[in-house]
Every structure is written in C-alpha cells, then in structure tokens.
Structure 1
Amino acid sequence: MSDLMFSRQPLVDASLTLHGYVLDFNNLSGASTQVVFDVLSSIDFDKLGDAPTFVKIRASQIDEELLTILDSNYVRLLLEGNFPEAVVIECVERHFALGLCRPNSTTLHLLKYCDYAVLSPEHYQSDRLKQIINKLHGKKLTIIADHIKEQSQLQNFGDCGFDLFSGDLIVSKVEKASSGASGYNRLVLVKLLTELQNPDCSVDKLEQIFAQDSRLSYKLIDLINSPAYSRTRDISSVKDAIVFLGLKDVKKWISLLVLSNIDDKPYELMVQTMLRAKLCELVATELGRTNIESYFTVGLFSTLDNLMDQPMESLLEQLPVDESLSMALLCGAGELGEVLQAVINYQASNWQALDGLDISSVQLRMLYLKALYWVSESIASLGMQK
C-alpha cells in the first residue's frame, strides 16, 4: 500500500456556503497510476454526502480503469499539467465536470472542455491576477482560489474575481469576544456543556438538561430511532434514549446536538468540528491510549472559540474541564494535546508535522476516511441542514 495521504478541504464561496470539497494530497506528483487508483478506489464517494468531491489528477495517473470506478455524479476532476486532448474528451464523454489547474500557454486549448479553472493567488501579482481572471471569466468558467488559509483573505481575493475558495479556512483562532447576535443563547450552551463535564452527571440530571430545550429532546429521540441504531422497539422518551445509549455515549451525542443548534455559523464549521473530534478518538484508540472519550471531547471543544465567538481562555474559565484538557486546548500540551495537534495538522494538510506520530501513513489515511464516513452518517442522524 502507498503512503499517499489526503485531506478533504472545503470549497466555499465568499459567504462560506459549501459548494463541495477538494482532495489535497501529500505527494500527488510522485504517485504512480496504481497508487492513485488504489487510494481513490478505497473511497466510497457516495458515502461522503451530496457535496461533490474535486479530485486533482495528472495525465500519467488517469486511465480507463480509474474513470470506470469513479462516479461522475459525485466526483469532479481537476487536471494538473498538460493532458492529451483525447483523454480530456474521454472524461467529458463519461460526463465528468472538469477543471484546469493553473492554466498556461500549453494548456489553454483544454479550457473549452472545462467548467472550472484553479489558481493559487500567492503566485501572482494582484494586477496580473485580475487580468487572468477576467480572461477566464470571458470563457464562462468558475474560478477557484486554491490553498486559502484565512477567512480574512476572502474579501481581497473575491475583489480580484475569484468565485470559490478552497483550503483550511473554516476554523480560525478567536482573539476577542464578538458582540454579534446569535440564533441560539450562548449562555445556555455553555451551561449545558458545563453540566456535561461534571463527572457526577446522572441520567436524571441529563434528563433535566434536555427538559430545558424541546429541540434537543426531539433530536435525541429522532437520532435513536434512526437506522443507525438497531432496536427491538421504538424509543419514545428522553430517559429511555439515555439508558439505551449509555452515559458516555449520550454525553458525546448531547454535545454534538447542543453545538449543532448554533444557527448563525457556517454549516462546514460543525462538519470540521465533528471530523476533528472523531479523528482524535480514532487516533487515540490506534495509539492504545486510555480514557478515549477525553480525546473526542478535546477535538470537539477545540473549535468552541469559533462556535461561541469567545477566546478559548475565556470559555475555559466557564467550563469545569480538568487541567489536561485545558492545557491541550490552550497550548497543545500533554498526550491529549499531542493527538489534537496531529489531527489539526492532518486536516490542514501540514504533512511534515505528522512525522513524529507513531502511526503509519496508510493507517492514518484509513482512520481519516473512517472519520469522514462517521461524520456523514452522523449529520444524517442529527438532521443537520446545509
């Protein structure tokens, strides 16, 4: 098996509305046709939700077998480098939507087959970038800005004419509290999360928590009655749902339900939060760590500053978390922090920062894919809407 890894970067517009995902590989240029085939054939794209996946590919890595196993309903192809025109035509005949990465004088003739053009803004001067984008828009193409790291860049690049933005830009550090209004009371959320962190939290106490919000009660019961769980009978009460799941699992699900009720945040922020939490849990399990639920929690809480519009330091003063969790969230310290930082680096495609992790590249890629499937299933179970 190959050590080729990938992360799935959200593709959004200037308002952070999701339009799909771009697979970002650690070493695509050095991967053979067989390696790329093995990795892509291991992905069930139909299990990753409705949003299309944009896959970067080189001419030497594409063949009839690969085009046969990929489903054009779920996959878009982003062409890297020059391609024989016959190969591009075959992709079109198989109904793949195409994009061309970094068009140049040797590849411009392929644009007539494409719906997208992909540019890396840092490679161009601003005036030159605007000229190129204007010409590409004249060809009725959607222009994607690649490898965007900060939401603050969206305004400038949007002014240059970019339509969509791909990169690790959804989660960013919050330096000061926001005074903006919310569709859900932040104080109620913090109170609920505080109760969940109490080690003495009982079934009765959890039932009281749900009594504070009928939406949470409905979502929990709906979740338990979904196809994701095998039951001998339907669950009709919050208490029965809590007993069915068990205290540890129900605390995890309540945290997800609580955070998914924040109405004024991008859908993708919750998706990335869930992915981080699950991957932390899976990596910790693979490493043989104990107290696995703490790893899920540290991943889940690592974006609280974004979700709550408050600095992490301020939030942790309100939550009764233990010191190991607090230090992991604030400075990446300890065993919890080690796993959290590794997962953050994986999500951000910071591949070299993963060298010290005692997990093979193949296994890490498989854990990431498992986490992606879990997120997709959980979103359906939670009834989250884009």
Structure 2
Amino acid sequence: MFIARQPIFNKAMKIYGYELLFRSDSSAVSFGNASSVSATATVIGGLFEQGIDQIVGKAKAFVNFDYDFIMSNNIELIEPDTLIIEVLETVEVDAALIDRIKYLKREGYQIALDDFEESYVSYPIVPLADIIKYDIMVTPLDTITSDVKQALSQKKLLLAEKIETEEEFQKAISMGFHLFQGYFFCKPKIVGSSSPKRSSKVQYSMILNELKKEEPSYDTITEIIESDVNLAYRMMRVISHKKGESAFNSIKYALVRMGLIDLERWINILMLQDISQNKPLEIMRLSLVRSRFSEYVAENSIYKERKEEVSMMCLFSTLDVLLDQPMEEALKGMLISNDIFNALVHGKGKLKPFCRLMLSYEQGDWTAVQKYAQIIEIDTEILYKGYLESIQWSSKILTFFQ
C-alpha cells in the first residue's frame, strides 16, 4: 500500500487538512475503473486499523471516492469529523447516488466536489456540496468569477487547487477562496539576502542541558540538532568557516570536529539572536519528514552506509524556501559533499535518486517512485511503513514548536 499526503491550507497558511494520495499495491499502475475500488478499500481499511490520526493528526482527510465506493458502507469506517468525501469528477450522477450522499450528510460527513468544472447552476450535487474544489489549471480563476460569487453567497467553502505561485494564492484570497492546495508554499521568495532564521529556544536549552552533563552525548546532541533544519543549517555554516576542514557527510561528524566547547559558545550566541521570518510550519514538517523518510529508505537500500549523508541532504532540501534564496546561494560556503550539492542544486549525481524519490512520493507519482526505488534497490512494499513512521516522528518533534 502506497500513501502520501498533500497539505491543504487556510488563508493564514495553517493546515486545514491533507488530501491522501494512494495506490493499493506496487502492481496497480493506475487509479481508475475497478482498480480504484480496490485501492480505496485497501487504504480505508489500513487507515481504520492504524488510525487515520497517524496520517493527518487533527486535520481533515480528503479522500477521492468513485461511484461504487460511495455506494458501499466502507466509508463509515472513518469518523465523519475527520473524513472529507471527495466526489470524483468522473462519477455518474443518478438518483441512487443523490440519496446516498444525502444519507452521508445526515451522518455528519462533508462532501467535496473534486476538480469541479460543471455548470454551477445545473449540476445536481452542488446543493449538497460543502466544499467545491477548482483546479485553476483547468478552470483559471478569471473564468469562474461568477460561479465563485454565487458559491460564496450560498456559504460554500471554496478550495483552489494547483496553486503554484504567491500571486495565484493572493488572487484566490482576494476572490474569496477559503482553502488552498499546491506547491506554492514550498517555493522561495527571492527578494535579496536574508538573515538566518532563529531556531527554537527549546532546542537551545536541550543542547545546553546535555552539554552540562559530565559525559555529554554526541548522539543526543545530533538528534536535537537534526530535529530543526534551521539549527542544522546554521551549525553547518559555523563549522564550515573553520579552515583546513574537508566536507562533512553527517551532522554528528561535524559536531565531533567542532568540539563541545565551541558548540556551547555557539549556542549561547544563537540564543542572543532573534532573527526570524514567518514561514508556514508545514515547511519545517516537510523537511523533517523528508529527512527521516530518506534515512529509512537509504538504510534499506544499497546506500545503507550513506544514510546519514542522505538524511542531511533531505533535511536541507527546503533551505531555499526558509532563507528565500536560490539553493546554490543557501548552500554557499557550507562544507557538504559534492554529491549533496549536485543533487540539491543541479538535480544530478549519485544522490539524485533520493531527491527524485522524495518528490515523487509526495506528489503521488507512483510510477516514478517505482523507477527510483529500483535504482537504489529498495522494496517498494516497505515504503509506506517508513513514510508513516516519518510522519509520526515529525509530529512528535513539532510539538516543541506549537
């Protein structure tokens, strides 16, 4: 079973929910016809057994359903306060479907129309829909102004999907959209140089407490630093300024070379600095999930000996967004390996498959996942386990930030 998730934000860039992307197994190439029923049944069953909160936390879960699955009673395995039922645009509407949707609404489920491009006035499910999703690549914002006004007057929640730029995000807000989905949130706003971000004071105090022990643990300090991509970045910047050093392939090795005395001095200086820019918490969550997931993937592949290097690379994969700089500029002067630099900046080199696998998994491009999994020689059947563990781990870490 493959499951990935794509974040859905509100106007304040807070998480409202996640759309779950899935496939039942590695042999099912597409999601459609009979295979879609099998895929959905597998995922709903898995979510019920393991707890959907393990995937979406307290957020909403948006799941695509076709006609047959809407008509089945498997939907009711998931509580209505969590599940948003997305009616696929390909679903054939008849009296039985209308009756079934009315029943599900009475049970407390919310109904979303996915990739809506029908006539707002005449489409029979519109009066029953709580959320209407517009794919702005299929139905550009300028072409749906009248429908949007009518939907707002009827108190519908409007979701703009495939938002790719800040400009599109702002335009959708101005039109009255409530929810937003796309990769606009993980793209840098290049407006010139920016200062390093402030790391959590919780991390600072945890490191200093460890340093005060009679025998500080490098493993413990490494784990604390790796839980915060900003802190890891700034640590690597500091150690990279030391002359005569070669490239570092892991945070732990960099710490050993840095030394505990210099580390403590550095932490104290960082605590006096309060340079920060607001970024969605999802950026931090994304980098943490990538770091943990990639480490799991590497450990179960032919790159087992390089798992720490792979983990650091994926932890830094959102640096351009956090610093609002091109990736090459963000990595400038850091003593990282050429393989990490080439993968993040040029999309080339030995570690490229890990970057591509991470991105493909997040986007639910299962064909590409298969391709890169074969290159690094990992069994795709175990990816879901690693992804789920990564989400759980990142959620635990992020409790310090909330």
Whether the TM-score (by the shorter chain) exceeds 0.5 is yes
Cα distance between partner residues in 2 of 1:187 and 1:104: 45
Unmatched tracts of structure 1, length 5 or more: 180-184, 190-212, 222-235
Instruction: Answer yes or no: is 1:67 the counterpart of 2:67.
Output: no
Q: CA deviation at 1:144?
A: 0.6
Which amino acid letter does the alignment assign opposite residue 94 of structure 1?
A: E
Task: Answer whether contact 2:188 2:324 (CA < 8 A) is retained.
Answer: no
Cα distance between partner residues in 2 of 1:378 and 1:309: 24
SS of the aligned residue for 1:99 comes to strand
Which amino acid letter does the alignment assign opposite residue 155 of structure 1?
A: Q
Instruction: Answer yes or no: is 1:98 the counterpart of 2:108.
Output: no
Distance 1:121 1:366, change over 3 A: same
Which amino acid letter does the alignment assign opposite residue 395 of structure 2?
A: S
2:187 to 172, 175, 178: 172
Matches within 5 A, 1:276-355: 276-289=290-303, 290-355=305-370
Cα distance between partner residues in 2 of 1:349 and 1:176: 31
Instruction: Answer yes or no: is 1:29 the counterpart of 2:32.
Output: yes
Which amino acid letter does the alignment assign opposite residue 218 of structure 1?
A: S
Which amino acid letter does the alignment assign opposite residue 98 of structure 2?
A: E
Cα distance between partner residues in 2 of 1:54 and 1:37: 15
Cα distance between partner residues in 2 of 1:49 and 1:161: 27
Q: CA deviation at 1:146?
A: 1.6
Cα distance between partner residues in 1 of 2:184 and 2:380: 24
Distance 1:377 1:28, change over 3 A: farther
Q: CA deviation at 1:19?
A: 1.6
Q: Deviations over 1:341-376 (max 9, x none)?
A: 220222233444334221455433443233222222
Distance 1:122 1:137, change over 3 A: same
SS of the aligned residue for 1:109 comes to coil
Task: Answer whether contact 1:142 1:163 (CA < 8 A) is retained.
Answer: yes
Matches within 5 A, 1:92-241: 92-101=105-114, 102=116, 104-105=118-119, 108-124=123-139, 126-173=141-188, 175=190, 177-179=192-194, 186=196, 215-219=202-206, 237-240=210-213
Q: Which residue of 2 aligns with 1:198?
A: none
Q: CA deviation at 1:214?
A: 5.5
Cα distance between partner residues in 1 of 2:309 and 2:226: 13
Cα distance between partner residues in 2 of 1:291 and 1:242: 27
Cα distance between partner residues in 1 of 2:42 and 2:140: 39
SS of the aligned residue for 2:295 comes to helix
Instruction: Answer yes or no: is 1:88 the counterpart of 2:96.
Output: no
Cα distance between partner residues in 2 of 1:88 and 1:188: 48
Moved more, 104-113 or 129-138: 104-113
> How many residue pairs were aligned?
336
Identity %: 21
- TM-score, normalised to structure 1, is 0.76
Q: CA deviation at 1:15?
A: 4.1
Q: Which residue of 1 aligns with 2:64?
A: 56
Cα distance between partner residues in 2 of 1:277 and 1:242: 28
**CA RMSD in angstroms, aligned pairs only:** 3.0
Q: CA deviation at 1:116?
A: 0.6
SS of the aligned residue for 1:124 comes to coil
Cα distance between partner residues in 2 of 1:378 and 1:65: 36
SS of the aligned residue for 1:24 comes to strand
Cα distance between partner residues in 1 of 2:336 and 2:125: 56
Q: CA deviation at 1:141?
A: 0.3
SS of the aligned residue for 1:146 comes to strand
SS of the aligned residue for 2:112 comes to strand
Q: Which residue of 1 aligns with 2:42?
A: 38
Which runs of at least 4 in structure 1 moved beyond 4 Å after TM superposition? 173-176, 236-243, 260-263
Task: Answer whether contact 1:9 1:23 (CA < 8 A) is retained.
Answer: yes
Cα distance between partner residues in 1 of 2:132 and 2:294: 34
Unmatched tracts of structure 2, length 5 or more: 24-29, 232-273
SS of the aligned residue for 1:145 comes to strand
Task: Answer whether contact 2:141 2:172 (CA < 8 A) is retained.
Answer: no
Q: CA deviation at 1:325?
A: 1.8
